[in-house]
Amino acid sequence: MNCKEKVYCGVDVSKLHLDVLYKGRPDRFDNTIKGVESMMARIGKVHYVLESTGGYERMAAWKLMDAGADVSIVNPSRVRHYALSMGQLAKTDPIDAGVIGDFAAAAHPKRSEKPTKEQRLLCALVDRRQQLNEMRTAETSRLETAADPSFLKLVKKHLNWIEKELKMLEKKIAETINTNAPMKEKNQRIQRIKGLGKICSATLLAHIPEIGTLSRQEIAALAGLAPYNRDSGSTCKRRHIHGGRKRLRACLYMAAVCAIQHNPVMKDFYIRLVEENHRPKKVALTAVMRKLIIAANSAVKNPDFGVVI
């Protein structure tokens, strides 16, 4: 079936409901397993398109995939920009569902693949570790300004609990990776690159399951590290990175800081950009981040990748 023959159905997802506009008819279903089954029975096996809405779309998307339907999970900002380009300013759930369907008919989004059980678990564990790290940072700041002894005791107690949870999570992350042979092999290849340690490697495996199957341009864009042109007429503005997966950039930033200190290749690259090419330090560090993610992708893609940088 080619793209022109496909029939798309836009689904606007909220915490409680799934709103659709199919063949001009609005419908609402509960965002539950029974609701998804009712939607499938009413509409059939068309190509369903859902926006990424912080996880509320996952159950519906996975249930549709299990039933054999084609499903695409798309970036909501792309859909909103499409609506604005078409002059659609009003925003309700049925209107949004219709816009998603129109966007899909124009853009033909790729079919999303359902992650494996191990992939979903790893992603959840890595995200939870990040949440606890943020909590630890906040509690440490409170510890520094605490004046009352009883308050200080409560904060220290919470910090001790966070430390124990972090150790437990890191152990579970390692177990999840090591019990899955393909994931374990990818992890070993990524960690051959100086600067990409076990936490950064786990984050890459969790948030880029496609790693090793993409081109250098695609992996950089997916991480939000590809510079985009901003030229018009005779004006050539400075390029900026845009979009991508936020968690990856945070992880790669710390990896780049480590790499320019302990990785000779990355250190020389960084110094050359700053001292010889007179690039701002932040721009040079972003370039190192891009080199690291491209190197990780190459290491996973190529079994004979022998250059340890």
Express each pLDDT in 280-289 by its tens digit: 999 999 999 9
Phi, psi dihedral angles at 150 (to 5 degrees): -65, -40
Strands 25-30 and 17-22: antiparallel
Are 140 and 101 in a shared domain? no
Query: Cα angle at 118 between 304 and 12, to 5 degrees?
Result: 115
pLDDT for the residue numbered 54: 75
Q: Is residue 195 part of a domain?
A: no
**pLDDT exceeds 60 at position 16:** yes
Give, in order, the Cα–Cα distances in Å from 251 to each of 82, 245, 248. Answer: 31, 10, 5
**pLDDT exceeds 50 at position 1:** no
Mean pLDDT of 269-294: 92
Spatial contact of 146 and 152, defined as CB atoms under 8 Å apart? yes
Q: Is residue 60 part of a domain?
A: yes
Mean pLDDT of 93-107: 93
Tens-place pLDDT, residues 42-61: 999 899 999 988 788 989 99
Mean pLDDT of 124-139: 93
Are 96 and 154 in a shared domain? no
Percentage of the chain lying above the pLDDT 70 cut? 90
Mean pLDDT of 147-173: 93
Please state, in angstroms and rounded to a whole number, the distance separating the CA atoms of residues 43 and 85.
Answer: 28
Q: Is residue 201 part of a domain?
A: no
Please state, in angstroms and rounded to a whole number, the distance separating the CA atoms of residues 284 and 94.
Answer: 46
Are 59 and 25 in a shared domain? yes
Q: Is residue 306 part of a domain?
A: no
Mean pLDDT of 237-258: 77
Are 13 and 98 in a shared domain? yes
Are 124 and 42 in a shared domain? no
Are 41 and 134 in a shared domain? no
Q: At what angle do helices 246-262 and 117-145 cross, to 10 degrees?
A: 70
Q: What is the mean pLDDT of the chain?
A: 88
The C-alpha R_g of the chain, in whole angstroms, comes to: 23
Are 274 and 228 in a shared domain? yes
Tens-place pLDDT, residues 173-220: 999 999 999 999 999 999 999 999 999 999 999 988 888 888 888 888
Q: Is residue 222 part of a domain?
A: yes
Position 171 confidence tier, pLDDT thresholds 50, 70, 90: very high
Token pair for residue 182?
């393909």
Q: Is residue 294 part of a domain?
A: yes
Q: Is residue 309 part of a domain?
A: no
Domain boundary among 75, 107, 139: 107
**pLDDT exceeds 80 at position 241:** no
Q: Is residue 186 part of a domain?
A: no
Domain boundary among 81, 107, 133: 107
Assign residue 77 the CATH number of its domain. 3.30.420.40
Position 164 confidence tier, pLDDT thresholds 50, 70, 90: very high
Are 87 and 122 in a shared domain? no
**pLDDT exceeds 70 at position 17:** yes
Give, in order, the Cα–Cα distances in Å from 247 to each of 9, 129, 138. Answer: 30, 12, 18
pLDDT for the residue numbered 307: 52
Spatial contact of 99 and 83, defined as CB atoms under 8 Å apart? yes
Are 16 and 98 in a shared domain? yes
Edge-first strand listing for the sheet containing 47-51: 25-30, 17-22, 8-13, 47-51, 71-74
Are 92 and 123 in a shared domain? no
Are 7 and 102 in a shared domain? yes
Position 239 confidence tier, pLDDT thresholds 50, 70, 90: low
Mean pLDDT of 213-240: 74
Q: Containing domain of residue 259, as a range? A: 206-301
In total, how many domains does the chain have?
3
